[in-house]
A and B are shown apart, each in its own frame.
Chain A
């Protein structure tokens, strides 16, 4: 009797102990296996065959490949039954599932060593950790067996990767997406630049905007005419958000200064130049241009008073309700355009300043999103097949333009989008997203303007002039007509041709193809740990100083705050940073055989 009771008690305790312990270790495992809240179904099934409950016949032996992406807020998983996703499944038998991570989460995953099948990360930043930590596999053998299209279509990238992105091992580890050696012929709708309420801008006569001062004058005129939104909320001229670091100070002025950064925000250069200036201590920099702009805006009562406390989503809510007159990009205006598709109201990027954000060429693709295959993947062959698919003409065409026979047809040897597809593109929104066409550009290996050698047309059929005209939204059409063009990109295209604006490729206009390739394949500067630390603390310092400068009470206070900030930046080593960076640029160029 006694024994039994003791036994019972012991058993019970054992049970509780093991329950508690397994509960916590279970929690840990759960975290590792399924780090993405958006992909709960994937827990534990890292790369096993899809669940037997999958409805369609074809998906019976689908392999689910989990792809780590470092961009929170992607839409891929939301539409993983789209026609495009099905086409991928039919062709190579894989289903792609995104695992989103920010830097924090990625670091935790790196430390645990358990990564999804495919990792898409910044090669310049993480190659050392990934390769030395033995977390990714060399792709050379896989490439030979499953990577025909990669070898054929992007040989330059493969060679470059082996040389510069292998941590000195000479093997192939990383492949960046969006490889495109030449820019497209036609300008697509521009998404970054002064994004203004078109109906209001037209109302005040659409004056030319040469400088940020001009822009502020326009905003002033508009706010005077429209102090309130339709539902009575106050209209602010300009606003910004604070959770993207220096972004609001370094990126929007690019249009007006033609100065942009490469691998660091702290030093930038005029496009085409090899001399970098300090963002913080050079008074012609974007940072100081922005400081003046926001300070003036505040002085004239045009700056949203919450600008310096808001986070991106608070800002987006204001943009959606139409309280902001001008913003930095079309995607920074919330859902306003989507909610006003029919009444012609909306935000559009207007030509202004010096620079048009178009015509990028990327012979090395988007390095900050480079693909690698993880050591922990159970299906490295399938992963390679998938990578081969996204770098193949057929695969990329499908991912951009949809399925042949469904979204586009071959007529007289020329691929043409169906009217339905064009209409879908013009309306946009959820119907377009659920078609899977161009759903996530980052996933596609080849750039949309790359021509398919079989038909001579761009892989993204929406980039042809015909499609650009037909798929324009009413807002874009109205905008284009105002400037005597047929589609919004043509407005910019003409200005670039006339020499009034420069694009990302203008400085390469007189170069031979070889020269262009050479110029664009110089390895980027990789900061050492110490410099990374210094960079981070300088950035932090800059955001804090910025608030004081922008909110200065008057001109005198502004100048005082400016002098103090310049002093603080110098003391914190901003100039040393620029010097180091310039030296590195020169060294890398010299090693690459350039002056």
Chain B
């Protein structure tokens, strides 16, 4: 891919003035593969929505499958599990939105670190968890937090607390635990965008502020924060449109019978219905419902953004 863009750039320079139009086509053509890929992976699968309207069983072709119309959607509104599942999804999403400022604050703190090597070290260490898959995170969490895990053993050795602390099977605290795990995994990665935004702030502003006698806290408050606020708002709004996609793998691997009632989010429910119970049609219907709500949310948020900020996000 890089070679293509490099060639493109070369071509561009050579034919800059007189062939602008042709270049436009070329660029369009160069983008074509990605458009095709987006089409193939994001739009072609939408064909699968058709299964929500049939009584589908794998193996039997659609032509021989009875048409069931909107039955599945009706079923959805009388499904007693839908309520709790939506509740879990929204709760976990809100909690993650609530923690959204943390990566921003983290980025500001990192950018204020003077020592170059320490800054890089912190950044690397905090970004690393992003690359660890959830199943490994689960294994780590199990060896840390199970009743025989490192944390409990340590507490025992110190003679603290009689009964071992049960973190993974704690019904009351499961949302907190999951939010903290998610935060641990994502804070460094999410901070990268803010760090980039901070780097792009005109350094003259800081110099001017210093001349005016502003200390570090004041420069952060009056320059850094306002400058990265638009980034924050855009990310926040986007995450609101993602309210119903609270995540999947995390809750899949951390689910157990003790916490199942409060950890089952919409995506997990769709998975369980479709792949575990084998009810593909119903599962597709629920998935469709989720996509439609998400699209509605996205456009609502966009509309609000246009109204109050004067610019949209999509």
Contact = CB atoms under 8 A, between A and B. Distances in A.
Tell me, yes or no, whether A binds B: yes
Given A16-B1, A16-B33, A306-B146, A111 B275 contact: no
A78 interface: no
B59 interface: yes
B265 to A, nearest CB: 15
A314 B147 contact: no
Contact of A234 (B14, B36, B148, B272): B148
A533 B279 contact: yes
Contact of A544 (B14, B60, B257): B257
A547 B258 contact: yes
A254 to B, nearest CB: 21
A532 B33 contact: no
Nearest to A136: B59
Interface stretch (A100-108, A181-189, A393-401, A467-475): A100-108
A13 B59 contact: no
Nearest to A21: B36
B146 A132 contact: no
A21 B260 CA distance: 40
B116 interface: no
Nearest to B272: A540
Interface string A514-553: 0000000000000001001100110010011011000100
Contacts of A10: 29
A20 B1 CA distance: 10
A222 B164 CA distance: 22
A536 B60 contact: no
B138 to A, nearest CB: 9
Nearest to B25: A6
Contacts of A305: 147, 164, 166
Interface string A11-23: 0110011001100
A550 to B, nearest CB: 10
A20 B32 CA distance: 11
A196 interface: no
A29 interface: no
B57 interface: yes
Contact of A113 (B59, B168, B276): B59
A309 B26 contact: no
Nearest to A15: B4
A133 B279 CA distance: 17
B276 A536 contact: yes
Contact of B60 (A9, A132, A533): A132
A6 B23 CA distance: 10
Given A9-B7, A129-B60, A20 B33 contact: yes
Contacts of A104: 275-276
A544 B261 contact: yes
A12 B14 CA distance: 18
A40 B67 CA distance: 39
Given A13-B33, A16-B1, A21-B36, A110 B59 contact: yes
A132 B59 contact: yes
A107 B275 CA distance: 8
B257 A107 contact: no
A314 B139 CA distance: 10
Contacts of B275: 103-104, 107
Contacts of A434: none
A103 B278 contact: yes
Contacts of A233: 148
B256 interface: yes
A13 B30 contact: yes
A242 B257 CA distance: 7
A497 interface: no
B297 to A, nearest CB: 29
B169 interface: yes
A16 B277 CA distance: 40
Nearest to B81: A537
Given A17-B32, A104-B275, A24 B40 contact: yes
Contacts of B41: 24
B64 interface: yes
Nearest to B260: A544
Contacts of B142: 314
- Chain A, interface SS category: helix
B148 A130 contact: no
A128 interface: yes
B67 to A, nearest CB: 15
A309 B59 contact: no
Given A9-B8, A16-B33, A135 B256 contact: no
B155 interface: no
Contacts of A129: 57-60
A5 interface: yes
Contacts of A314: 142, 146
Nearest to A16: B33
A533 B168 CA distance: 29
Interface in B98-143: 142
A105 to B, nearest CB: 10
Interface in A281-319: 304-306, 308-309, 314
B45 interface: no
B278 A309 contact: no
Contacts of B14: 5
A306 B143 CA distance: 12
A308 B58 contact: no
Contacts of B58: 107-108, 110-111, 129, 133
Interface in B255-309: 256-258, 260-261, 272, 275-279
B61 interface: yes
Nearest to B253: A311
Interface string B50-64: 000001011111001
A132 B261 contact: no
A308 B169 contact: yes
B36 A13 contact: no
A20 B256 contact: no
Contact of B256 (A16, A111, A113, A242): A242
B61 A133 contact: yes
Contacts of A540: 260, 272
Nearest to A318: B148
B37 interface: yes
A308 B4 CA distance: 54
Interface string B19-32: 00010001001101
B11 interface: yes
Contacts of A234: 148
Given A133-B60, A309-B169, A533-B277, A13 B257 contact: no
A532 B57 CA distance: 13
Nearest to A542: B257
23 contacts: A2-B15, A9-B30, A12-B4, A13-B32, A13-B33, A21-B36, A21-B40, A103-B276, A104-B275, A107-B278, A110-B59, A113-B59, A126-B59, A133-B59, A135-B59, A233-B148, A242-B256, A304-B147, A305-B166, A308-B256, A314-B146, A540-B260, A544-B260
Interface of A: 2, 5-6, 8-10, 12-13, 16-17, 20-21, 24, 103-104, 107-108, 110-111, 113, 126, 128-130, 132-133, 135, 233-234, 242, 304-306, 308-309, 314, 529, 532-533, 536-537, 540, 543-544, 546-547, 551
Give 3 closest A-B pairs by Cβ, nearest first.
A133-B59, A129-B59, A110-B59
Given A21-B36, A529-B55, 13 more contacts: A5-B11, A6-B22, A10-B29, A16-B1, A103-B276, A107-B275, A111-B59, A132-B60, A135-B59, A305-B166, A309-B166, A309-B256, A314-B146
